[in-house]
Structure 1
Amino acid sequence: MNIRPLHTEADYRHALATVATLVDIDPAQGTPEGDELEILSILVERYETEHFSMAAPDPIEAIKFRMEQQGLSVPDMQPYIGNANRVYEVLAGKRALSLAMIRRLHAGLHIPAEVLIGGC
Structure 2
Amino acid sequence: MQPWYLIENEEDYRKATRRYEEVRVAEKGSMERKEMQLLAFLINQYEEQQWEMPDVDPVGLIKIRMEEFGYKATDLAKEYGDKGTVSKVLNYKQALSLTMIRKFSKLLRIPAEALTKEYALQ
TM-score, with structure 1 as normaliser: 0.49
Q: Which has the higher helix share?
A: 1
